[in-house]
Amino acid sequence: KKLICPQVKNSNKIDKIRIICKNFKTFTFGFQLSDVGKGKYIADALVKFAYPARHNLLFLYQFKDNSCNGAASNATKMFRKKTDWLQELERCNATAGWRVYSKDCRVSDSSLPMHFVVPKHLSDMDYNNISKSFRNDRSAIWVWGCHDAALVRLAELNPDITNTTVENILLEHVRRCDPQKRQPRLLELYKILPSIQDVNLSYMKLRDLCTPDNDQQFMAQDGRFYSMVEKSYWLFYVSLCLKHSDLAAKMLLDGQTVVLQEINGRDMCGVISSLVQLLLDKSYRSLQGFQNLIQKEWITLGHPFSDRIGHVATVKSTERSPIFLLFLDCVWQLLQQFPNAFEFSETFLTTLWDSLFLPIFDTFQFNSETERYNAVHADHIILRPVWDWAKQFEGKDLALFTNPLYQPDTLVNMSFGKTAMNNIDKEHLQPQYCLRDIELWQQCYFRWMPHLEIKYGGIAQSELLNHILLNNIRKLRRTLGNHEPYETVDERMDALEQILSSMVVQTRDPDAASETTLSISSFFPFTSIAPSTEIVCSELLIANNGINFSHDSMYETSSLND
């Protein structure tokens, strides 16, 4: 085997090309029966388009169809306006000690947005002077708060500064933001969490395990698979992130301000900060709220997606690391431990990970808001947020993004920042983070391994039952006049019925309405198993006569694969 990359000239004699995608999907193309040079032609084309030398060579810059322009067509809060941050401050009752800082002009190499939250008593000049001592000018940035305590992100001091006086002065300013003047807790994440290089090495080991070359290699590693997973340290890193997020959340509940510090303030700070807010703030556990959280912590505050995912070939290998996947894995662990606490499903999380590699949408294609702004004004790209999911999927697909077990007490309204931070102590989630409690995210990592897919089995069967029960409960409530607090309940019911209808395979006898079989497998809707046409009677579906099963409908299992 020989690695195809921009630095290596490809041979004319290429018999086979195997492509391993970043989401673990694999493709194999053989050229044994093709003319000499055909394999090289394909390999050269792959190198050209898979490893662009510049960011403006991405497809995002070439795709000019403005029909997909969704800049203002969805309810996700983008945190690009001053009012977005003001509403978040008010929602968290943090206006006494913190304020929104707005830049006078854009700095070409800045990783910070135009608006963010800083200590209220510091003037713009004082804050700027202090920030110059920290990497990327990332001084104390408020992101969330409760009980008068604040969650703050901070970068390290510049390498040429050995005296920590400036850092101590900044922490004193953070302390003054607390009405009770309590000393903040500094969590030095670079000392307790893996580096981006460690995470990337772990990811590569996990990817190798989940992308065997052939059946023989799969069988050879099957007996020691979990020991090899353990040696990859991936689950250990997930455990560490959950552990320190839980500790930080408990500090905040005790009224202690928490300052998260790492080298650049853009990687693990985003992981821990986001997890803490999921553990404490119920608003962020809704699907819309979760999108708001990602937009705030990852997009607006400048996680370097382009460098970490490797969108451009010229990025150093030491800068590549799937930090965002580590975060999504942690969120998935929370979904398993608290199955009724989140509105979104694991299918949504898996689709979100896949969306990082869709160059049509700009959300995960840049290192910062400054880069996005420059691309709009210099290269005239059209912004298409990935959050406008209707541009990609039909209603039956979107219904799979929701968790049928989720039952909010009240309608969560994140659109205008009006959700009060009430009963936060009761809403606190306390995750289990010991290694024995951490599971492997099978849908995301195993979905392209046919040997591991269970036909008509797995968690997907339970999900189907939950959808059926939820659909019938809603129908019963409508019949009794006890409406749910959803404005779009009709659309939700229609989408659920589409799912349930399309999960049933057409039988050989169209008149036999009871002779049906489920067309789902354990990795549904990401599946490589073709639907069966066996005639199998499902007592569950027969008993559920309140649902209209359409015999001319079949779920397109590839709709979420691309």
Q: What integer pLDDT is reported at residue 421 of this predicted model?
A: 67
Q: Which structure tokens are listed for 387?
A: 């959050």
Maximum distance among all Cα pairs of the chain, rounded to whole angstroms: 82
Q: What integer pLDDT is reported at residue 501 of this predicted model?
A: 60
CA nearest 289: which of 387, 148, 382, 154?
A: 387
Answer yes or no: are the C-beta atoms of 31 and 24 closer than 8 Å.
no
Beta bridge pairs of residue 98: 119
Q: What integer pLDDT is reported at residue 342 of this predicted model?
A: 98
- Residue position matching structure tokens 């989408």: 495
Q: What is the pLDDT of residues 368-384, one digit of tens each?
A: 999 999 999 999 999 99
- Give dist(CA 333, CA 342) in Å, integer: 12
Could you give the dihedral angle defined by the CA atoms of residues 334, 338, 344 and 350, in that order, rounded to the nearest 10 degrees? 40
Q: What integer pLDDT is reported at residue 206 of this predicted model?
A: 97
Q: What is the pLDDT of residues 399-423, one digit of tens each?
A: 889 998 897 765 444 444 445 566 7
Q: What integer pLDDT is reported at residue 559 of this predicted model?
A: 38
- Residue position matching structure tokens 């090309």: 17
Spell out the residues 6+ positions from residue 248 whose beta carbon is closer than 8 angstroms to its own.
151, 187, 258, 260, 272, 276
Q: Model's pTM, two decimal places?
A: 0.89
Q: What integer pLDDT is reported at residue 515 of this predicted model?
A: 43
Beta bridge pairs of residue 188: 261
Q: Which residues of the chain have pLDDT under 50?
A: 71-72, 411-418, 487, 505-508, 512-517, 531-562
Q: What integer pLDDT is reported at residue 75 of this predicted model?
A: 86
Sequence-ordered strand ranges (E) for 225-341: 258-262
Domain ranges across the chain: 1-51, 82-387+422-444, 453-543
Answer yes or no: are the C-beta atoms of 267 and 323 closer than 8 Å.
yes
- Give dist(CA 246, CA 255) in Å, integer: 15
- At residue 503, the 3 state secondary structure works out as coil
Q: What integer pLDDT is reported at residue 525 of this predicted model?
A: 87
